[in-house]
Amino acid sequence: MQQTLKQLVLDAGPLIGLFSANDRDHDVCKAGFEQLSQSRTILLTPLPVIFEVYKWLLYRATPTVAQITLTVMHESLHIVPINQIDFHEISAMVQTLLQWQGSLEDASVILLAQRYQCPVWTLNYRDFGMFKSLAFWNPL
């Protein structure tokens, strides 16, 4: 049985899966968010991930779904802005790892997970696999 989490960093995948009813991971994401809600886990989400989710839903779902999702994310997530110092750290990360193909959004997730020392919930481990210090969370 998994230990109750105090906080967790969210990548875009679980949010897209939750808000896109046609997503192949919709049921797993819905169950995962219900589990996190029941345990009152703080959901840390870097601001670039919010932009990524909104844009994805805007183009692949509908503007209405994207707008409703934006409101729900604003009300239910702890959105962490990226400041100038964070941007320099993210930039240094991607410029140091020349073969890494992760996005700046992915780098912001890694930065928060390392800073707050908490696990990440993602559906795409490919871009996070080289960061051995990261812990991951999955719904039961």
Spell out the residues 6+ positions from residue 60 whose beta carbon is closer than 8 angstroms to its own. 20
User: Is the pLDDT score of 136 beyond 80?
Assistant: yes
Query: Six-digit token pair at 111?
Result: 């930065």
What are the sequence ranges of the domains in the chain?
Answer: 7-121
User: Is the pLDDT score of 28 beyond 90?
Assistant: yes
**pLDDT tens across 81-117, in order?**
999 999 999 999 999 998 899 999 999 999 999 999 9
- Banded pLDDT at 130 (limits 50, 70, 90): confident
Q: Are 10 and 121 in contact (CB under 8 A)?
A: yes
DSSP 77: S
Give this prediction's pTM. Answer: 0.92
The superfamily (CATH) of domain 7-121 is: 5'-nuclease (3.40.50.1010)
DSSP reduced 3-state for 46: strand
Average predicted confidence (pLDDT) for the chain: 94
